[in-house]
A = this chain, B = another copy of it.
């Protein structure tokens, strides 16, 4: 990769965000390189200049882009799980985020289109999951520190369960359009923490 000019970096970014937006609106399958070019007023040579790997590399970049958004969109609440009201605020933020997104998970769409074969694909998703789970686990530990959660609870396992609740809720929302499952699962997870009803097995 040669050094990028300021203009070059801007173009690259424009292509990336244009692709992400188009995918959000029409889905991965219905997104061709020409669509992206038209939307971003760029040309084939530019796209392949900045993404030599072509479509696959672009899609992977979009996946990374979306993965970052997922975490960012939960800040600052995700960093401040220090009281039960704070947990509630975070829960609301998550629900609101996905409600607004309207039953569409660009990240899931992109990764499932890249196939698991790709070396980078898994890394993006697992990296996101690890970061996410780790942040939640920190919240659990903090609550244990202030005596609000039973010390017998395994923070990582609890965070894993909560993460699964969110993922499942969002997945179901993708087909039903409703956030009821997401809300029910998240509420259950948090209630479990409060009640210390977590199996430590």
Task: Please give the residue numbers on chain A whose beta carbons come within 8 Å of chain B beta carbons, in ascending order.
Answer: 27, 29-30, 103-104, 108-109, 111-113, 115-117, 122, 125-126, 129, 157-158, 160-161, 163-169, 171-172, 174-176, 180-182, 184-185, 187-189, 191-192, 194-195, 197-199, 201
Contact = CB atoms under 8 A, between A and B. Distances in A.
Given A168-B169, A171-B171, A181 B161 contact: yes
A33 B171 CA distance: 28
Contacts of A117: 27
Contact of A181 (B116, B122, B164, B176): B164
A100 to B, nearest CB: 17
B180 A160 contact: yes
Contact of A129 (B165, B167, B172): B172
Counting chain B CB atoms within 10 Å of each CB, the highest count among A117, A184, A189 belongs to A184
A10 to B, nearest CB: 32
Copies of this protein, total: 2
Contacts of A125: 175
A188 to B, nearest CB: 4
21 contacts: A27-B117, A29-B113, A30-B115, A112-B112, A113-B113, A116-B174, A129-B175, A157-B180, A158-B188, A161-B185, A163-B168, A163-B172, A163-B181, A164-B181, A164-B182, A167-B167, A167-B169, A167-B171, A187-B201, A188-B198, A194-B197
B181 A191 contact: no
Contacts of A167: 167-169, 171-172
Contacts of A187: 161, 199, 201
Contacts of A30: 115
Contacts of A180: 157, 160
A187 B194 CA distance: 16
